[in-house]
Structure 1
Amino acid sequence: MTAPIGVPQNTRSRRTREALLQAARSLIEEDGFDVMTLSAVADRAGVSRRALYLHFASRSELLTTLYRHLGEAEDLATSLAKVWAQKDAVGALDEWARHIARSHPRILTISRVIERARNTDEDAAELWHLTMRNWLTSCRRLANWLDKENRLADPWTPSAAADMLWALMSWDVTERLIVDRRWSRKTLGSHYAAMLHATFVRDSSPHQ
């Protein structure tokens, strides 16, 4: 099995790359987006700037790689795969709520920093828009699946349902419930699923 494109196969190089990505993440989470310069990352990782440039030619490249690495480190793809493995759209919607509850708290801090920096930092804006596009793609898939199985409740259209599902993924929701109100991830997942079901799912009883 070959290593993914862009991932060094030399053990020492892989360790250096990992150290740089961890340094970038910790700098953003602790001090904000503005301080995350290539020099600061190199210093935090304990490597030379020359070594950094062997892995990342620019700040933008480093941040894009960090975005992908964040998903890998927190195993977000495995969590999301459980959504699409469901046998029907309603099951997928319920699992979607649990996926949000599992994954969003893990990346809340860095995501909030990127969100706040997007209006003043081009790299942050690019990462933010990429995240939003990915969210909306998944929400459209869910809404279209519900509609295809005739389980999308009135008055929702697939487009409107996708937009609302996307809006409900707001980091504000996660932060207020998990951080401010101290909900557990399990509680968030079950209550979020109940809300989505009550809002978007058509009753499948015979009289419908």
Structure 2
Amino acid sequence: MQWRETGVTMSPAEPQNARGRRTRAALLRAISEIVESQGFGALTMNAVADKAGVSRRAVYLHFRSRAELIPALHFYVVEELGLTESIARVWEHDTPEAVLDEWAAHLVRVNLRAIGVDRAVRYTRHTDPDVEAYRRGVAERQRRYCRMVIERVEDAGRLAPQWTVEDAVDMLWSLISTDMLEALADECGWETVKLAQRLGLLLRRTFLAD
């Protein structure tokens, strides 16, 4: 399968015919459903073929090996959750307050819906090199976004004096926690609007100078 570089990750090139596009969509959906319901241990070429209702040969026409299923999963999650569009909304704002609020809203919009995949990654990363490589790639992208957020605050002269840019990036990145979001949403019963507002308040009070 051919892959092309995007601003988010490596993504599979779109098949040229309608049948190929339908098969690709079925395979990506099958990969995501297997990982969310059974974990990465169940992710095999045979399992994907069975779940998608296609032949093994059809799977191999799109993916040469299991290792290629992992970045395909990320592409599917990015596509399904609208990550690119969601993160773009952060950069549309001019003030540090608005940037941090939109970053909080972005985390709630995307991360709450990606909990199943994230949980599977955390459970498997130490025993599966392919999954660990995938996790590292995602973490690197997340840190780049965090740096862009903090640099927006710093460029506006609003980063609180107790923070260096590097420390602030580290802290902002650490707050990308699906455990925290899941606990507040599921165990505490917070609605998404409240969760985004309170997280935005936390970020503003933490990183902005008075």
TM-score for the superposition, normalised by structure 1: 0.93
SS in 1 for 2:94: coil
Corresponding residue number in structure 1 for 2:116: 109
Q: Is 1:145 the counterpart of 2:152 in the alignment?
A: yes
How far apart, CA to CA, are the structure 1 residues paired with 2:203 and 2:86?
18
**8 Å Cα contact 2:29-2:76 kept in structure 1:** no
Q: Which amino acid aligns with 1:7?
A: E
Asked if 1 retains the 8 angstrom alpha-carbon contact of 2:150 and 2:165, the reply is: yes
Q: Give the counterpart letter for 1:79 in structure 2.
A: S
Which residue in the other structure is 1:93 paired with?
A: 100
Instruction: Name the structure 2 match of 1:53.
Output: 60
**Superposition pairs of residues 26-175 of structure 1, within 5 angstroms:** 26-175=33-182
What is the total number of aligned residue pairs between the two structures? 201
Contact conserved, 1:33 with 1:114, CA < 8 A, in 2?
A: yes
Please give the alpha-carbon distance, in whole angstroms, between the structure 2 residues aligned to 1:131 and 1:179. Answer: 25
Q: Does 1:185 align with 2:192?
A: yes
Unaligned 5+ runs, structure 2: 5-10
CA contact (8 A) 1:97 1:192 kept: yes
Change (3 A) 1:5 1:129: closer
SS of residue paired to 2:98: helix
Partner of 1:195 in structure 2?
A: 202
Identity of aligned residues (%): 39
Q: How far apart are 1:18 and its partner, in Å?
A: 0.7
Task: Determine helix, strand or coil for the equivalent of 2:42.
Answer: coil
Q: Is the 8 A contact 2:105 2:200 kept in 1?
A: yes
**Residue aligned with 1:173, SS:** helix
How well do the aligned residues superpose, as a CA RMSD in angstroms? 1.4
Aligned equivalents of 2:48, 2:132: Cα separation in 1: 20
Displacement of 1:5: 6.0
SS of corresponding position for 1:169: coil
- 2:41 match: secondary structure: coil
Alpha-carbon contact 2:90-2:106 (below 8 Å) kept: yes
> Does the 8 Å CA contact 1:139/1:166 hold for their aligned counterparts?
yes
Question: 2:37 corresponds to which letter in structure 1?
Answer: E
Q: Which shifted more, 43-52 or 180-189?
A: 180-189
Q: Could you say which residue in structure 1 is the equivalent of 2:16? A: 9
| SS of the residue 1:150 aligns to | coil
Indicate if the aligned counterparts of 1:90 and 1:151 stay in contact, CA closer than 8 A: no
